Structure 1
Amino acid sequence: MANNNEHQNDFPKVHRDQLITVKDLIDFKQQLIVDIKKLLKEQTGHPGHQWLKAFEIKKMLRLSESKLQYLRDKGVIPFKKLGGVTYYNLEEIESLMHSGKLNDQMKMA
């Protein structure tokens, strides 16, 4: 009997307000999902953002590899690199096309 009392004293006393209920776990899970979705949205950009690879941009704009590289080097075409792959935001490319800035720079290349 003495052994049972010794083991009971090894654990701190738990008060009623320290207990975790099933509702607490469900609330935590829901908040965690919301937080993860928010982080993913921040990392990947806005929903509907379309990221294109170089071959798609070259086809769309009828550019050679060297012209695309030139425009990238000059900072005309914004891009992101992820895992060694270069991506271009379609909305930004379309905006450059409509503004005429891309055409001006392509003539210089």
Structure 2
Amino acid sequence: MQIELVTKEDLQLFRQQLLGDLKLLMNTSEPKASEWLKSAEVRKFLKISAGTLQNLRIAGVLKPVKIGGLLYYRSRDIEDLLNKKA
């Protein structure tokens, strides 16, 4: 069994590399929008009432996914809906 020693210089170099990588990750351009939105977020974004959102669901315009009693909508579906109306 071979024993390798880790020196203070090795740890310092690792620390600098780690901090550099973290800074690079944190300085990414813009934060990505969430892929899934809750009903309240969709209503606020589209500026519609709960009834209107329900009508969109019933008509099949928006198809939510139900997880744990909450409805989630794919953000791409919302974008597609807005692009169709434009």
Higher relative contact order (CA 8 A, sep 6+): 2
Q: Give the TM-score normalised by the residue count of structure 2.
A: 0.57
What is the Cα deviation at residue 76 of structure 1? 0.7
More helix by share: 1
Structure 2: give runs of 5+ residues left out of the alignment: 1-32
Q: What secondary structure sits across from 1:55 in the alignment?
A: helix
Q: Give the TM-score normalised by the residue count of structure 1.
A: 0.46
Aligned length: 54
The CA RMSD measured in Å over matched residues stands at: 1.8
What is the Cα deviation at residue 99 of structure 1? 1.7
Larger radius of gyration: 1
Does the aligned pair in 2 maintain the 1:49–1:91 contact within 8 Å? Answer: no
Task: Name the CA distance, whole Å, in 1 between partners of 2:54 and 2:80.
Answer: 19
Q: What secondary structure sits across from 1:76 in the alignment?
A: coil
* Closer, same or farther: CA 83–65 of 1 in aligned 2, 3 Å: same
Moved over 2 A (4+): none
